[in-house]
Amino acid sequence: TPMYFFLRHLSVLDLCLISVTVPKSVTISLTNNSSISFLGCVAQLLLVILFAASEYFVLTAMSYDRFAAICRPLHYEAIMDQGACEKMAAASWLSGGLLGVLFSASTFSLSFCGSNIVQQFFCDVPSLMKISCSKDYVAIDVSVTVGIALAVVCFVGIVISYVRIFRAVLRMPAAEGRAKAFSTCLPHLGVITLFIMTCFCAYLKPSSGSPSTVDLLVSVFYAVVTPALNPL
């Protein structure tokens, strides 16, 4: 039941994340009108960060849920009761919302006095920094540092959970039980790895003056491909 509870939240987040970027991109392709309003850009950046960060926190909660299910089966119902699941989900949404507000406020505190062409298929922090004429990025640096710190803490928790899960699985005497555990955990771990790697590449790669295919592909992976993979 907790696994399906988190899957419901993950499905809503995936749907919301894709809805923020894909419809606008498709509209631009069909109408050849590539403009977006300032408020639309603010809303897009806020919602992308909110849903992407919340999804990462929900994936972290799911890794803990699977650790409890496999490594603490006799205490599982007590550890992952309804109250605990609801608190984890609420913390995930709230943390994502706070990061969205932090990144949006710090990004749009910059001055934009030059080009107004966003070199991306949606408004994100790296592409907006490229068209900013500000030289002081302290607010952005603080936001990125907070985001990385939270991401690293969650990643360490995920790694610890899966190390203990795999140790427990490999001790299982029945091959069928091992196969079931691996089939449940490996896709989840693969999606998390892809999501983290592409996000880190997008936000930590040195900024270049001209857009590249690699930048576009990286953004497509964390904003479109990963949300599409989760249901599968």
Give the residue with greater pLDDT, 4 vs 184: 4
What is the pLDDT averaged over residues 74-97? 94
What is the pLDDT averaged over residues 103-119? 83
Superfamily of segment(s) 2-229:
Rhodopsin 7-helix transmembrane proteins (1.20.1070.10)
Phi first, then psi, for residue 17 (nearest 5°) are -65, -45
What size, in residues, is the chain? 232
Structure confidence at residue 79 (pLDDT): 92
Lowest mean pLDDT among 33-47, 62-76, 91-105, 212-226: 212-226
d(C-alpha 136, C-alpha 96), whole Å:
25
Structure confidence at residue 34 (pLDDT): 82
Write a three-state SS string for 160-229.
HHHHHHHHHHHCCCCHHHHHHHHHHHHHHHHHHHHHHHHHHHHHHCCCCCCCCHHHHHHHHHHHHHHHHH
Give Cβ neighbours of residue 216 (< 8 Å, ≥ 6 apart): 120, 121
Residues 38, 105, 215, CA angle at the centre, nearest 5°? 70
Give the residue with greater pLDDT, 163 vs 174: 163
Prediction pTM value: 0.85
**Diameter over CA atoms, the chain:** 66
Structure confidence at residue 89 (pLDDT): 95
Q: What is the mean pLDDT of the chain?
A: 84
Structure confidence at residue 6 (pLDDT): 92
Give Cβ neighbours of residue 204 (< 8 Å, ≥ 6 apart): 144, 148
Task: Give the pLDDT confidence of 144-163 residue by residue, as tens digits.
Answer: 889 889 988 998 999 899 88
